[in-house]
Each structure stands twice: as structure tokens, then as C-alpha cells.
């Protein structure tokens, strides 16, 4: 199989993108969709190493045995991969991943992943095509600006290919004590709250107030610097946050809802994609 071209496969299976969704390259690194079960397992194994072994997520017996981070949403998602060709051409090359769930897949399945934490009815009323982002991670040696930009090039190409109008998902701050994250959460709520028409809200049973300090008591520059790179990346792309945070004790995180309207996505990613497809 030519690993650089995504084959046409049945809907909602591994590599369900249309033909011609080609790998984007940057030196020895590439970004493309998973096309085999082995590549999906490599992504799940990477997620396990990052979320459970590095970040302290709590694993049940089955997860500990398998050493895979997996759930029922993996089967309906496309899995964007960063691959290092110096490591090989198959599953062994996977060094980064991002899970992409298109609206059609979630509707057929019955729900989006985010609905376990957030009321997304406002997003559902949005008339454009929607994409849920999640489960993003990279191997420790590949946590660089270049790799993050490559992931975003891949997402932009995917958005361009499918005509996505709005992206959303849950993003995480490490730790489960919101008071320890008070400045960051307050900064996000004060400066980046989503318009009401598309604003998700944490489920009442899980709602944690984000405005934990008076706005004048925070240093926006310092708060922004302390945010995880992924969240800063969303903000650079014009992203907004929802109302309320959610504590995820299993993953040892404090989650926020992120929304990005794709007409606000930095034009450079589209220019990259258009140049590469000419």
C-alpha cells in the first residue's frame, strides 16, 4: 500500500477520508491520517504513555494490561498522525496524534465525546459543518513548535478538504485543583469567552467557576505564558472558551471547552495546503 495516499474506505473506519488526502511533509516528518489498525494502536499506545505514564491519569485494570488509551469514540474518528520517516514507514513511525470526529460520525454514533462534560446544544444549533478535536499528544522528543505547526497544517488541510466551518473540543490544564489554576482560568474567561450563540456550558453537575479572581488581579501576559502550548495554539487561531471548567479526576486534568470558527484560522495554514496541492 502507498502510505502517502489515504485510500477510500467505508465510512467511520480507519482512514475514512476521501482519496487524494495526501501526506504533508516537513523534512523527515510528515502528517497524515492513520490507515491501518496497527497505526491506530500506535496512536493509542502513544496516548497511554503521555496521559497515563507522564501526566498521571488513573488506569483501570484493562488499560494497564493493554497499555493503550482507547475508548468507543476511536472507532468513529479519523486519527491524524505525525510520523517520523527516520523511524520507519509503518506504525513504528508514529510520534504524534490528534483525534478528529466529524459531525456525520458523531450523529450516527449518537453523541460527541464532549457531551460527557459540556452542554453543546448551542454548538449543535450552529448551521455549518462541525468537527470535534481531541486526544492530542506528541512524544516527548517531538514537542516543538515545528511539530505543532505540522499538526495544524494537517488539521487545516482536513478542514479545507471537508468544508468544516467550526471546530470544538475539550482542552486540558494539568491538575485537578482549580484554585491552583485560578489566574489561567480567570484569564481565559475574561479575555476569550465564546460568543453566546456558540458557547458551550459545563454540565451543572460538573460545573467549576472559571472566574476565580477579580479581573484586575491577574497579569494577562503571565497567565497566557502559563497555559499549555495546545491551548495557546487554539487562542492564536482565534479560539474561544466555553462557560465553566470541568474536573477530570481520571486524567488528572481541569478541562475547558474550546471553539474555533475556521474562517478565523490563520491564513498561512491554508496557503501551505493550497501550495502543496497544486
| Beta-carbon-side half-sphere exposure of residue 49 (alpha carbons within 13 Å) | 15
Percentage of the chain lying above the pLDDT 90 cut: 73
Number of domains, the chain: 1
| DSSP H helical ranges for the chain | 37-48, 61-66, 103-109, 121-125, 145-162, 182-191, 220-226, 229-236, 267-276
Least confident of 43-47, 89-93, 176-180: 89-93
pLDDT at 10: 28
Least confident of 92-96, 103-107, 158-162, 184-188: 158-162
**DSSP helix/strand/coil, 25:** strand
The answer to the question of residue 149 being in a domain is yes
Which CATH number belongs to the domain containing residue 121 in this structure?
3.40.630.30
CA–CA distance, 103 with 14 (Å, rounded to integer)? 16
**Stretch 20-37: mean pLDDT, rounded?**
88
Residue 7 has pLDDT above 90, yes or no: no
Q: For residue 95, give its domain range.
A: 24-276
pLDDT at 182: 97
The answer to the question of residue 94 being in a domain is yes
The answer to the question of residue 75 being in a domain is yes
**Stretch 221-247: mean pLDDT, rounded?**
94
DSSP secondary structure of 104-125: HHHHHHT--GGGGTEE-HHHHH
The answer to the question of residue 155 being in a domain is yes
pLDDT at 17: 44
The answer to the question of residue 18 being in a domain is no
Please give the helix or strand (H or E) that residue 208 lies within, else none.
none
The answer to the question of residue 103 being in a domain is yes
Residue 5 has pLDDT above 90, yes or no: no
The answer to the question of residue 200 being in a domain is yes
pLDDT at 265: 61
Handedness of CA 150, 105, 51, 250 (dihedral sign): positive
Query: Higher-confidence residue: 207 or 23?
Result: 207
Residue 276 has pLDDT above 80, yes or no: no
CA–CA distance, 267 with 212 (Å, rounded to integer)? 35
Mean pLDDT in the chain?
Answer: 88
C-alpha cell at 96: 504524534
pLDDT at 204: 97
Can you give the pTM of this predicted structure?
0.87
The answer to the question of residue 231 being in a domain is yes
Amino acid at each position: 500500500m502507498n502510505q502517502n495516499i489515504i485510500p477510500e474506505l467505508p465510512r467511520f473506519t480507519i482512514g475514512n477520508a476521501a482519496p487524494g488526502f495526501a501526506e504533508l511533509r516537513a523534512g523527515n516528518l510528515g502528517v497524515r491520517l492513520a490507515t491501518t489498525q496497527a497505526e491506530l494502536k500506535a496512536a493509542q499506545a502513544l496516548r497511554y504513555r503521555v496521559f497515563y505514564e507522564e501526566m498521571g491519569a488513573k488506569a483501570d485494570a484493562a488499560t494497564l494490561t493493554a497499555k493503550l488509551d482507547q475508548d468507543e469514540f476511536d472507532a468513529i474518528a479519523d486519527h491524524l498522525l505525525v510520523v517520523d520517516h527516520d523511524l520507519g514507514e509503518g506504525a513504528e513511525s508514529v510520534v504524534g496524534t490528534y483525534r478528529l470526529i466529524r459531525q456525520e460520525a458523531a450523529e450516527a454514533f449518537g453523541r460527541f465525546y464532549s457531551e460527557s462534560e459540556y452542554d453543546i446544544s448551542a454548538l449543535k444549533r450552529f448551521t455549518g459543518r462541525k468537527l470535534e478535536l481531541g486526544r492530542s499528544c506528541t512524544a516527548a522528543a517531538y514537542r516543538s513548535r515545528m511539530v505543532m505547526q505540522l499538526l495544524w497544517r494537517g488539521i487545516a488541510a482536513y478542514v479545507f478538504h471537508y468544508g468544516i466551518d467550526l471546530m470544538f473540543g475539550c482542552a486540558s490544564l494539568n491538575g485537578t485543583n482549580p484554585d491552583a489554576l485560578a489566574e489561567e482560568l480567570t484569564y481565559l474567561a475574561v479575555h476569550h469567552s465564546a460568543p453566546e450563540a456558540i458557547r458551550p456550558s459545563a454540565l451543572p453537575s460538573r460545573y467549576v467557576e472559571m472566574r476565580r479572581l477579580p479581573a484586575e488581579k491577574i497579569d494577562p501576559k503571565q497567565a497566557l505564558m502559563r497555559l499549555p502550548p495546545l491551548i495557546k495554539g487554539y487562542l492564536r487561531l482565534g479560539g474561544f472558551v466555553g462557560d465553566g471548567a470541568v474536573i477530570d479526576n481520571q486524567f488528572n486534568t481541569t478541562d475547558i471547552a474550546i471553539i474555533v470558527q475556521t474562517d478565523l484560522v490563520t491564513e498561512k495554514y491554508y496557503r501551505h495546503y493550497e501550495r502543496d496541492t497544486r
